[in-house]
Amino acid sequence: MNTHTAPGRIRIIGGSLRNSRLNVPDLPGLRPTAERVRETLFNWLAPTIAGARCLDLCAGTGALGIEALSRGAVSVQFVERDARVAQALRDNLSRLKTVGGQVVAIDAGLFLQGAAQPFDLVFLDPPFTLALWTPLAQRLEQAGWLAPRAWIYVESQRGSAPALPVNWQPHREGAAGEASYALYRRLPPAQA
For 38-72, the pLDDT digits (tens) are: 999 999 999 999 999 999 999 999 999 999 999 99
Q: Is residue 30 part of a domain?
A: yes
Q: For residue 146, which of 114, 117, 109 has the smallest C-alpha distance?
A: 117
Nearest to 71 by CA among 22, 14, 21: 14
Question: CB of 149 within 8 A of CB of 186?
Answer: yes
pLDDT at 182: 95
Residue 3 lies in a domain: no
Residue 5 has what DSSP assignment?
Answer: P
**Cβ within 8 Å of residue 147, ≥6 positions away:** 53, 118, 119, 120, 186
Residue 139 lies in a domain: yes
CB 158 within 8 A of CB 3: no
Compute how many other C-beta atoms are within 10 angstroms of the C-beta atom of residue 127.
15
Asked, for residue 2, whether it belongs to a domain, the answer is no
Q: Is residue 119 part of a domain?
A: yes
Consecutive H or E run containing 168: strand 168-176
- 3-state class (DSSP) for residue 133: helix
pLDDT value for 51: 97
CATH code assigned at 50: 3.40.50.150
> Does 171 fall in a domain?
yes
The tens-digit pLDDT sequence of the chain (192 residues) is: 334 444 467 889 999 889 889 878 777 667 778 788 999 999 999 999 999 999 999 999 999 999 999 999 999 999 999 999 999 999 999 999 999 999 999 999 999 999 999 999 999 998 877 778 899 999 999 999 999 999 999 998 888 878 999 999 999 999 988 889 999 999 976 665
Count CB atoms within 10 A of the CB of residue 86: 20
Q: What pLDDT does residue 4 have?
A: 43
Give the count of domains, the chain. 1
Query: Sign of the CA dihedral 141, 161, 86, 82?
Result: positive
Where do the H-state alpha helices sit in the chain?
A: 35-45, 63-70, 83-95, 108-111, 133-142
Q: Please indicate, yes or no, if residue 155 is contained in any of the structural domains.
A: yes
Distance CA 192, CA 189 (A): 5
Residue 65 lies in a domain: yes
| Prediction pTM value | 0.90
Per the structure, the complete domain to which residue 152 belongs is given by 8-191
